[in-house]
Amino acid sequence: MVMLPEQKVFFIGDWRVSPAEGVLSRDGEVVHLEPKVAEVLVYLAAHAGQVVTRQELEREVWQGALVGYDAITNTVIKLRRALHDNSHQPQYVTTIPKRGYELIAPVRYLQTETNPNPSITSTAEATAIAPVTGQAPKLRVKVILTALLGVLFLASTGAWLWFAYRSAIPRFQNNKPSLIVMPFKNLSHDASQDYLADGMTEDLITDLSRTARLQVLASNTSYIYHDKRVAPREVGKTLHIDYVLQGNIRTVGGTLRVNTQLVDARTGFNKWAESYDRSTQEIFNVRHEITSGVVNALALNLTAKEKQRLASKATSNLKAYGYFQEGQRLSKGRTKEDNQLAETAYRKAIAIDPTYGRAYGALAVTLGVDFFRGWTATPNENLDRALELARNAVALDDSIPQTYWALGWVYLMRREHAKAEQATMKSIEIAPNYADGYGLLAFIDNYQGKSAQAIAYLRKGMQLNPYYSWDYPYNLGRAYYDSGQYAKAVAALEQARQRNPNIMFANVYLVASYVRLGRQDDAEWVVQELQVMDPPVTISHISKVAPYSDLKLLQPLLADLRKAGLPE
The strand pairing partners of 32, in sequence order, are: 23
Mean pLDDT of all residues belonging to the chain: 83
Question: Which of 172, 150, 294, 313 is CA-nearest to residue 236?
Answer: 172
Rounded distance, CA 353 to CA 380, Å?
Answer: 27
Give the per-residue pLDDT at 265.
Answer: 94
Could you tell me where the beta strands, DSSP code E, fall in 206-295?
A: 215-216, 243-252, 255-264, 270-279
Give the per-residue pLDDT at 66.
Answer: 65
Give the per-residue pLDDT at 492.
Answer: 92
Single-letter amino acid, residue 403: T
Coil, helix or strand at residue 349: helix
Rounded distance, CA 50 to CA 43, Å?
Answer: 11
Average confidence (pLDDT) per 10 residues, the chain, 568 residues: 55 88 84 87 89 86 70 81 78 80 86 38 34 38 40 38 41 75 90 88 91 88 86 92 95 92 94 94 93 93 86 87 90 83 95 96 94 88 95 94 96 95 95 91 93 92 84 92 93 85 84 93 84 76 88 91 90
Contact (CB, 8 A) for 16 and 29: no
Rounded distance, CA 122 to CA 402, Å?
Answer: 65
CB atoms within 10 A of CB 519: 17
Give the per-residue pLDDT at 3.
Answer: 44
Rounded distance, CA 460 to CA 515, Å?
Answer: 30
Give the per-residue pLDDT at 67.
Answer: 64
CA neighbours closer than 13 Å in the CB half-sphere of residue 190: 10
Contact (CB, 8 A) for 252 and 188: yes
Output the CA–CA distances (angstroms, integers) from residue 568 to 536, 541, 558, in the order listed: 11, 8, 10
Coil, helix or strand at residue 33: coil
Question: Which of 326, 181, 164 is CA-nearest to residue 245?
Answer: 181
Single-letter amino acid, residue 314: A
Give the per-residue pLDDT at 123.
Answer: 32
Q: Is the pTM of this model over 0.75?
A: no
Rounded distance, CA 209 to CA 433, Å?
Answer: 5
Coil, helix or strand at residue 559: helix
Question: Which of 469, 35, 496 is CA-nearest to residue 224?
Answer: 469
Query: Which string of b and e fits 283-297 if b means at least 16 CB within 10 Å?
Result: bbebbbbbbebbbeb
Contact (CB, 8 A) for 426 and 404: yes
